[in-house]
Amino acid sequence: MTKLSVNINKVATIRNARGGNFPDVVKFAIDCEKFGAQGITVHPRPDERHIRYADVRELKKVVTTEFNIEGNPVPSFVKLVTEVVPTQVTLVPDAENVLTSNAGWDTVKHFDFLKDTVAMFQSYGIRVSIFIDPDPLRIEKAKEIGTDRVELYTESYASHYAENREQAIVKFVEAAQVAHNVGLGLNAGHDLNLDNLEYFKRRIPFLDEVSIGHAVISDALYLGIHETIRQYLNCLK
């Protein structure tokens, strides 16, 4: 079964809007695991506008499933990740001023940098995933870099799903097959939700993990987090 990793950034966004510690992101992560999530994802940015570096340290103490830290490997991020030593680090090339991640790595252009960065994190025993567009060449280069997994950036699939899901999935099936053929683990994330997730999983059955935050937290406003996680897990069966 494909694992569901819940990104709890939006919980921190709500907390930070009022100060204090409500909602409690650590308790929320514990509850997500209790309700069946197989992983917790955070994406701490240098400005700490949602998840703070201190949150990451506290979460490391309590997360019992897979702990995934996403981010651009700037010096402060590297220092945090090598201190905390999560299950997985996902390398994302987001600039500091972006609202959300909006592109995958160019593994040709940044080959040497990524190769060194991947090797460094792996030396700490951390599994490494590279956030990447569904491009076969870039996936093949990711294999040469030495990463353990790639995470397919699924925004274009999600944005075109309603108009033509068969066409929207084509390049992702091709990219996933390339990753599978070269022996890379396969994750996916960005704008996956209860409408489009089941079809994505059905067309790519060897998917290891999906990381979902915005949609999960939004659905939880209506359904509650327990029921929301149950429905997402059903999509992944």
Give the ranges where 88-213 is alpha helix by DSSP (H): 111-122, 136-145, 155-160, 165-182, 197-203
Partners of residue 139 on adjacent β-strands: none
CB 34: neighbour CB atoms within 10 A? 12
| Kind plus residue range of the DSSP H or E element containing 89 | strand 88-91
**Is 190 one of the annotated active-site residues of the chain?**
yes
Active-site choice (33, 50, 66, 70): 70
**Is 180 one of the annotated active-site residues of the chain?**
no
Tokens 């909602």 label which residue? 23
Active-site choice (33, 50, 155, 190): 190
- Cα–Cα distance between 162 and 173 in angstroms, integer? 17
| Kind plus residue range of the DSSP H or E element containing 43 | none
Asked if 196 and 158 count as a contact pair (C-beta separation under 8 A), the reply is: yes
**Is 160 one of the annotated active-site residues of the chain?**
no
For residue 54, give every residue at least 6 positions away whose Cβ sits within 8 Å of its Cβ, in sequence order, or none: none
Active-site choice (43, 50, 151, 209): 43
Partners of residue 4 on adjacent β-strands: 210
Catalytic residue list: 43, 70, 190
